[in-house]
Amino acid sequence: MSFTLLDGGLSTALESLGNSLTSSLWTGELLRSNPERIRAAHQLYVDAGAKILISSSYQISFMGCQKVGWSESDVESALTLSTELARFSGVKVAASVGPYGAALADGSEYRGNYKISIDELKDFHRRRLEILVKSKPDYLAIETIPELREAQAIIEVIAEIGADIPYWISFTCSSEETISSGESFSEAVKIVNQCKGAIAVGINCTAPHLITPLLKSAQSHLPYIVYPNSGRIWDSKTKTWQGSESDALSSFEVEKWALLGATIIGGCCSVGPQEIAKIKPRSFGVRPGF
């Protein structure tokens, strides 16, 4: 049993440093206003033992940023900077590619079923992907994807632009067998398994009690990647997490996920550096893998 430690929620680390994240750009706003805070938040996860850091580009898109007055050059600079801020010695950088729903800032990444065409989805993702690829991260973290159609759109864009950076796709899920759109997680895994360049498939920003049954519901020759949230529910109106937290990364659960094929394990929203530090691979007597 072997896995590599991923970081936790960037917003959680930033909030622990005293930042209030209430704009539609969430953590991305700091790429313009206070990039050193993002660097400091990444450092917290490096200190906690993370070997892969996900960049702060999740909420950065041309559509979303232009809504709040950013220029195209502002967006390009922020995307490039997000990769640079996550570079630390001995740590890999995964450039975050958030879903279309993140730009809507209404919680759509937990519902999917967008009312737009696959070509419109491809247009939304293409230019951002081109810029992130040029920033030369180690991986692309295509994350919080709620529906199969969006995953397919991104896969097609990656092929069309000739990107040669390894990537994973992780889905938000709503039940023990389905992603947020209501489609089968098993089918999502099957689609990603067919992709050249994909190095992992899995689940993020999903309640931790759903992870084990989801992994058991599918078959994958690719490794799994798992980074759940704390089990709380996102309120898109107040932009806050509601409800009580669970022990998202308990030793018992993490060990089960590794045994089921997860080779990258970390946390998402409301899972901070202290929680990540508790699951260093050596705690289980295993060597870091991947």
pLDDT of residue 114: 94
Strands 262-265 and 4-5, by their bridges, are parallel
Mean pLDDT in order along the chain per 10 residues (290 residues): 90 85 74 94 97 96 93 97 98 98 90 94 98 98 98 98 97 97 98 97 96 98 96 59 62 89 95 90 54
| Domain assignment present for 234 | yes
| Domain assignment present for 290 | no
Rounded Cα distance, 4 and 284, in Å: 12
| Domain assignment present for 14 | yes
| Domain assignment present for 16 | yes
- What's the alpha-carbon Rg for the chain, to the nearest Å? 17
pLDDT of residue 19: 73
pLDDT of residue 1: 59
pLDDT of residue 15: 87
pLDDT of residue 252: 75
pLDDT of residue 250: 77
pLDDT of residue 211: 97
pLDDT of residue 99: 97
Q: Kindly state the tokens that stand for 174.
A: 């709503």
- Please count the other Cβ atoms lying within 10 Å of the Cβ belonging to residue 279: 26
| The total number of residues written for the chain in this structure | 290
pLDDT of residue 25: 77
CATH number of the domain where residue 10 is located: 3.20.20.330
Confirm if 137 and 165 have CB atoms less than 8 A apart.
yes
Strands 233-235 and 240-242, by their bridges, are antiparallel
pLDDT of residue 158: 98
Task: Report the candidate in 280, 282, 281, 283 with the shortest Cα–Cα distance to residue 47.
Answer: 280
The three-state secondary structure class of 257 is helix
- Please count the other Cβ atoms lying within 10 Å of the Cβ belonging to residue 233: 12
Domain span holding position 199:
4-284
Rounded Cα distance, 123 and 166, in Å: 21
> What's the total number of domains in the chain?
1
Query: Which run of H or of E encompasses 235?
Result: strand 233-235
Task: Report the candidate in 25, 114, 39 with the shortest Cα–Cα distance to residue 84.
Answer: 39
According to DSSP H, which parts of 238-287 are helical? 251-259, 273-277
pLDDT of residue 29: 85
Rounded Cα distance, 54 and 56, in Å: 7
Query: Which run of H or of E encompasses 158?
Result: helix 148-160
**Tokens 């997000």 sit on residue:** 82
- Please count the other Cβ atoms lying within 10 Å of the Cβ belonging to residue 244: 7
Strands 52-54 and 262-265, by their bridges, are unpaired
| Domain assignment present for 289 | no
Confirm if 277 and 48 have CB atoms less than 8 A apart.
yes
